[in-house]
Amino acid sequence: MHRLIFTILTLVVIAPAVRAVDDSDISGDELFGDVQWVSVEGDPESPLLFHQAKHRLDLASVDCDRICRQATGATVRSDTLRCDNDRREYQVLPDGLMWRSYLAGPQEPRIGTVIQYDADDNIYCDASLGGRVGLLRYGTLGSKNPRGWQWDLEGGVITRLNVRESEDVDSMDYRIGTLITRSEGDWRFKFGYFHISSHVGDEYIERNPTFERVNYVTESAIWGVGYVPSESVRLYGEFAYAFSVSGGAQPVQIQTGAEYTPPAKSVTRGAPFAAINLNFREAVGYDVSSTAQIGWGFQSLESGRRMRFGLQCGAGPTSQYEFFERREEYIGIGSWFDY
């Protein structure tokens, strides 16, 4: 069997490294000592050969970012140190997202759990199970700061368990939607549709036989814009208008917020994060529901996925729409996995 060896010198390290040296105390000789050879071996008849080569190049790109971060003390934005080119093409089931879920958004699709204690001496566990994935992209390759257009699918369920009542299910909100997202430079955009329907747990009805369930449902169009002035900061706002409502829901919902996520010096060490989300809904007279988080997170340099641990506090109308007219104030601890 003939074997083919692709040997690729990662010269892409050199150009950003030169810029990095200008702003650091590291000598060029010391930095360029990290230039590596990347090899891919395989059968030239194999359809996976070029996929393997691309994968190794993606890994080299991650190493490029790491070297530049070390040279600059992680003070230079990664998008100015990009190792990939700006070639754009159609991709089915692409890696990465152009619009990520809000860190402090309680109704965002993710995997997470928050155990919270409220002002009425209740203890709840709000558990989320869901996520967001890309279906089709026209844009740059890879998951690191992709640019272009992307079509996403999202979905999840947000469940409230009553810890003092043997973790009975009090309520749950189901969310499913689809988005067209765009990323260029410092700006992010989204447009799409999402459905929310709220339900009450059987155990809650058994404990409260006089409770009258509301069929809170919205079918909404949504527009959003995000601004990312640096690798550490994101500001965002969105407007949703429901063209079909029931159960006390009203058409307008507005969200805005800010996030601070400084890059970690290594994946294993992690880095702090802080986020705030403000939610205004016509159904509650635009009374603001605020959620704030602070903690420590670990983020993959390649995929951008993040695991976080921290504190969460909130005040205002509840995020559980089955009880949308209730107000709550709480503090809790949580863990979140973000796509």
Q: What is the pLDDT of residue 96?
A: 94
Q: What is the pLDDT of residue 301?
A: 84
- Coil vs helix vs strand at 242: strand
| Confidence band of 54 (pLDDT split at 50, 70, 90) | low
- Can you say how many angstroms the Cα of residue 132 is from the centroid of all Cα atoms in its chain? 8
- What is the phi/psi pair of residue 58, to 5°? -60, -40
| Confidence band of 75 (pLDDT split at 50, 70, 90) | very low
Between CA 216 and CA 209 the distance in angstroms is: 19
232-279 residue pLDDT tens? 999 999 999 999 999 999 999 999 999 999 999 888 999 999 999 999
Q: What is the pLDDT of residue 34?
A: 45
Higher pLDDT, 123 or 10: 123
Percent pLDDT > 90 in the chain is 71
Higher pLDDT, 36 or 157: 157
Query: Which amino acid is present at 91?
Result: Q
**Contact criterion met (CB below 8 Å) for 297 and 261:** yes
| Confidence band of 287 (pLDDT split at 50, 70, 90) | very high
Q: What is the pLDDT of residue 17?
A: 43
Q: What is the mean pLDDT of residues 285-290?
A: 98
Q: What is the mean pLDDT of residues 131-147?
A: 95
Higher pLDDT, 32 or 230: 230
The conformation of residue 78, written as its DSSP 8-state character, comes to: G
Average pLDDT taken over every residue of the chain: 85
CA distances from 245 to 215, 249, 250 (A): 9, 6, 6
Q: What is the pLDDT of residue 56?
A: 58
164-221 residue pLDDT tens? 999 999 999 999 999 999 999 999 999 999 999 999 999 999 999 999 999 999 999 9
Q: What is the pLDDT of residue 192?
A: 99
| Residue 151 C-beta-side C-alpha neighbours within 13 Å | 7
Higher pLDDT, 177 or 37: 177
| Confidence band of 329 (pLDDT split at 50, 70, 90) | very high
110 has a pLDDT exceeding 70 = yes
- Both tokens of 119, joined, read 């002002």
Higher pLDDT, 55 or 15: 55
Between CA 187 and CA 175 the distance in angstroms is: 26
Q: What is the mean pLDDT of residues 114-131?
A: 97
Which residues, in sequence order, are bridge partners of residue 337? 111, 307
Question: First and final CA of the chain: distance in angstroms?
Answer: 41
| Confidence band of 72 (pLDDT split at 50, 70, 90) | low
135 has a pLDDT exceeding 90 = yes
Q: What is the pLDDT of residue 303?
A: 86
Higher pLDDT, 221 or 56: 221
70 has a pLDDT exceeding 60 = no
Q: What is the pLDDT of residue 304?
A: 86
What domains can be seen in the chain, in order of their start residue? 4-84 (no CATH), 94-338 (2.40.230.10)
